[in-house]
Amino acid sequence: MLPRGRPRALGAAALLLLLAVGFFLFGGDLEYGRLRGAASLDGELTRDHNRSACLPLRSLLPKCELLHVAIVCAGYNSSRDVVTLVKSMLFYRKNPLHLHLVTDEVARNILETLFHTWMVPAVRVSFYNTSKFQSQVSWIPNTHYSGLYGLLKLVLPDALPPDLARVIVLDTDVTFASDIAELWAFFAHFSDKQMIGLVENQSNWYLGNLWKNHRPWPALGRGFNTGVILLWLDRLRQAGWEQMWKVTARRLLLTLSSTSLADQDIFNAVIKEHPGLVLLLPCLWNVQLSDHTLAERCYSEASDIKVIHWNSPKKLRVKNKDVEFFRNLHLTFLEYDGNLLRRELFGCPSQPPPQAEQRQRALAHLDEEDACFEFQQQRLTVHRVHLTFLPLDLLPSELHDVTLVAQLSVDRLQMLEALCSHWPGPMSLALYLTDAEAQQFLRFVEASKVLSARSNVAYHVVYREGPLYPVNHLRNVALAQARTSHVFLSDIDFLPAYSLYNYLRASIEQLDLSSQRKTALVVPAFESLHYHLSFPTSKAELLALLDAGSLHTFRYDVWPRGHTPTDYARWREAQAPYQVQWAADYEPYVVVPRECPRYDSRFVGFGWNKVAHIVELDAQEYEFLVLPEAFTIHMPHAPSLDISRFRSSPAYRDCLHALKDEFHQDLSRHYGAAALKYLTALQRSRSST
């Protein structure tokens, strides 16, 4: 009755439970042949409803045991999918986890930043570069939609660290509905000879009778599905796994032209020759939701489901009887606020990342009664960041190219189409969204012909947290991802002249602005108060609208200081770029080298966030050159919530005041006497308002 694995030192009580479990789940024997009764689609025990009720498998695990999970992930879309998988896993997990992510460069860039900023306690992440292992599988002809990356699961025993003995391998399209430790516990049921744990394939594919001339790869019966695998790595290494699967694959490829289901065909072919390698897992651990799935035979009630697997290329649009139930489960985690998964696994102490500890200490020092507590707290917030949320395909950067940089929240999505029609060049946009809003954004882009047609717009999602809009942090995220020599630092409510992109590139070339030269090209800003503006196609048209009162210089009535130094009167007549001087509260829209100073992320909410950046440029001796043909126009919109708050709250203004002082102290520290003029300007502006 006992499994043949090493029982170790289990207490009397655990042994007693084990007896019960063994009896319950496996009907007395764990070997493959007999196991079929418990776990396969045709088995009898499948219909015993008590079987799946809360099995105490967890109790077989040492408390706080570290569980290892490997996932192969490549490209933009899989990087989004894997997040949903990880969220579902984290939601139910009770153990520390070590994720081993085998990624291409795109996925690595995205996921490294994501996990670094997510800061989930008791989760470690290691990355492995696919390019190192591609040659081991690239010789295999394969027609499956997962491409080369599907096949990479075959090389995991080689790719993962040699001291890693056991690992759970997951496809990116699975969703957990239970604690992964229950799955890990099946390692205890492996016999000495077994090294691979798998669920039966829940379709008739491998039976070869789906259509005429359907010639699948060889498999045991219905074969196995490789969306969820338990790999006993060191046994596989010892058994010469690499040799084993390569020999089998080479031989079969003499008669079969290619794999149809990638790694799964090869796993099955090897297992057909060595059935003793496999422990059959209960079907509930990989409920397969393809179009003609037989999965219904597996589960009989909702409480049975452990892991679902969207293994149809149609994914959530697949049709089957209970698909609404499965979609709901998936949507739960798709839209789940990932910040909530930052909860401590108390009882299992773990080493927090150094920056988390520092942050905790700083947070603990804050005084909740302080009027500026929210500002201070927001500054210490580390926002989760998902870079390049959507596919991006930038052309190789030219010498003089400009990326438009801006940030927005969900209430400005409707600006994107217009912006795309005004700016054909590359853009780097930071979006401040909740997890649910990120999905809304995705649907918005998919529904828009204009947006889906663009491949040179990078969307970086920064997840919402805290009451104040982290405007400068968002700008920095977008700025850091620009790939061109220059950046146009814009705001989402502005539409640039249709010609601006080409004009800027030409100007940078004509003025011979290398990325070393400290020049900020000023793009004069105007505003329309009318929604139905007929957008000027030339400077002459713009001036006519200005004279007709249909356009104004930006914030001429409420905040003239922000743009007065641009000298609009001179601009009217200018034929060539002209230099202007910094003055207090100047905040023009500028084009600068990508390596320009970052925004001061202490400025959150509304007020002075751009002003501080222009001060920094001036302090670093950037020259400001106004371009005679450049312009950008602010389109009308309702005031944002943050502005409303600023307007109604004296406390908010006081906190901003304090922030400005802090900023000027830092300026003095960095630039010494040269920074004196900013302080003088600040004091003069205060005494005049």
Q: Considering only residues 72, 73, 110, 415, which one is a binding residue for a second copy as defined by CB under 8 A? A: 415
Cα dist from 73 to 127, 165, 172, 337, 390, whole Å: 10, 21, 7, 22, 15
394 phi/psi in degrees, rounded to 5 = -75, 140
| Contacting a second copy within 524-553 (CB under 8 A) | 529-532
Q: Binding of a second copy at residue 323 (CB under 8 A)?
A: no
Q: Are 245 and 259 in contact (CB under 8 A)?
A: no
Q: How far apart are CA 178 and CA 35, in angstroms?
A: 22
Q: Which residue from 76, 127, 325, 646 is in contact with a second copy, where contact means CB under 8 A?
A: 325
Judged by CB under 8 A, which of 1, 7, 28, 49 binds a second copy? 49
**Residue that the structure tokens 């023009």 belong to:** 588
The full length of the chain comes to 689
Q: How far is the CB of 531 from a second copy (least distance, A)?
A: 7
Cβ distance to a second copy smaller for residue 11 or 672: 11
Cβ proximity to a second copy, 134 vs 320, nearer residue: 320
Distance CA 469, CA 440 (A): 20
Choose among 116, 97, 125, 167: nearest CA to 348.
97
Return the biggest CA–CA distance within the chain.
94
Shortest separation between residue 93's beta carbon and a second copy, angstroms: 9
Pairing verdict, β 525-528 and 632-634: parallel
Site for a second copy in 67-126 (CB under 8 A): 94
Q: What is the three-class DSSP state of 172? A: coil
Are 217 and 259 in contact, with CB atoms under 8 Å apart? yes
Please, what is the minimum distance in Å from the beta carbon of residue 444 to a second copy? 7
> Which is it for the CA torsion 434, 438, 439, 443, positive or negative?
positive
- Looking at 144, 153, 189, 412, which residue binds a second copy (CB under 8 A)? 412
User: Does residue 315 bind a second copy (CB under 8 A)?
Assistant: no
Report the distance separating Cα 307 and Cα 281, nearest Å: 12
Q: Residue 406 CB, nearest distance to a second copy (Å)?
A: 15
335: DSSP letter: S
Encoded tokens for 295: 């999965």
If one counts every other C-beta atom within 10 angstroms of the C-beta of residue 33, the result is 9
Determine the interface stretch with a second copy among 15-23, 253-261, 381-389, 616-624 (rule: CB under 8 A).
15-23
Among 9, 13, 254, 569, binds a second copy (CB under 8 A): 13
Which of 153, 199, 206, 204 is closest to 309 using CA atoms? 199
Q: Which two tokens stand for residue 290?
A: 């393809």
Residues 144 to 203 in contact with a second copy, rule: CB under 8 A: 179, 182
Joined together, the tokens standing for residue 489 give: 């630092």
Find all residues with CB under 8 Å of 297, minimum gap 6, and list them: 41, 42, 46, 202
The token duo for 653 is 């203004």
Is 414 among the residues that bind a second copy (CB under 8 A)?
yes
Residue closer to a second copy (CB basis): 53 or 210:
53
Per CB under 8 A, which region of 247-255, 296-304, 564-572, 582-590 contacts a second copy? 296-304
Q: Tokens 């010789």 sit at which residue?
A: 139
Distance CA 523, CA 255 (A): 66
> For a second copy, which residue of 42, 357, 411, 662 counts as binding (CB under 8 A)?
411
Point out which span in 73-81, 239-247, 591-599, 629-637 binds a second copy (CB under 8 A): 629-637
By beta-carbon proximity to a second copy, the closer residue of 345 and 479 is 345
Residues 265-294 that bind a second copy (CB under 8 A): none
Which of 2, 20, 399, 651 lies at the binding interface for a second copy (CB under 8 A)?
Answer: 20
Closer residue to a second copy in complex, CB, 78/95: 95
Q: How far is the CB of 440 from a second copy (least distance, A)?
A: 9
Q: Which alpha helices (H) appear in 227-335, and where do they start and end?
A: 233-238, 241-252, 263-273, 323-334
> Judged by CB under 8 A, does residue 19 bind a second copy?
yes
Whole-angstrom distance, CA of residue 19 vs CA of residue 7: 12
Q: Does 364 bind a second copy (CB under 8 A)?
A: no
* Residues 545 and 526 sit within 8 Å (Cβ to Cβ): no
What x-and-dash track marks residues 51-70 binding a second copy by CB under 8 A? --xxxxxxx---xx------
Q: How many CB atoms sit inside 10 A of residue 396's CB?
A: 6
Footprint on residues 566-605 left by a second copy (CB under 8 A): none
Using rule CB under 8 A, residue 495 touches a second copy: no
Q: Give 344 or 662: the residue with its C-beta nearer to a second copy.
A: 344
Query: Per the structure block, which two tokens stand in for 435?
Result: 């997890």
| Interface residue with a second copy, options 393, 557, 573, 621 (CB under 8 A) | 557
Q: Are 640 and 588 in contact (CB under 8 A)?
A: no
Beta strands in 330-439 (DSSP E): 385-386, 402-409, 427-433
Query: Phi first, then psi: what are they for 521, rounded to 5°?
Result: -80, 125
Among the listed residues 17, 165, 574, 681, the single contact to a second copy using CB under 8 A: 17
444 scored as a contact of a second copy (CB under 8 A): yes
Site for a second copy contains 213 (CB under 8 A): no
Position 301, amino acid: E
Nearer to a second copy, 55 or 630 (CB): 55
Per-residue binding letters, 327-356, with a second copy (x by CB under 8 A): -xx-xx--xxx--xxxxxxxxx--------
Rounded to a whole number of angstroms, the minimum distance from the CB of residue 352 to a second copy is: 13
Q: What is the DSSP letter of 395?
A: P
Cβ closest to a second copy, residue 54 vs residue 395: 54
Total number of residues binding a second copy (CB under 8 A)? Answer: 79
Tell me the window of 30-38, 144-152, 413-421, 653-661 that interacts with a second copy (CB under 8 A). 413-421
Q: Does 1 bind a second copy (CB under 8 A)?
A: no
The interface region with a second copy, picked from 77-85, 221-229, 397-405, 441-449 by CB under 8 A, is: 441-449
Q: How far is the CB of 26 from a second copy (least distance, A)?
A: 12
For the chain, the distance separating the N- and C-terminal CA atoms, rounded to the nearest angstrom, is 86
Q: Tell me the residue type at 617.
A: L
* 365 makes contact with a second copy (CB under 8 A): no
The SS3 call for residue 307 is strand
Give the x/- contact pattern for a second copy in 458-477, rule: CB under 8 A.
---------x----------
Judged by CB, which is closer to a second copy: 273, or 417?
Answer: 417
Stretch that binds a second copy, among 260-268, 269-277, 643-651, 661-669 (CB under 8 A): 643-651
Interhelix angle 650-671/373-380, nearest 10 degrees: 50
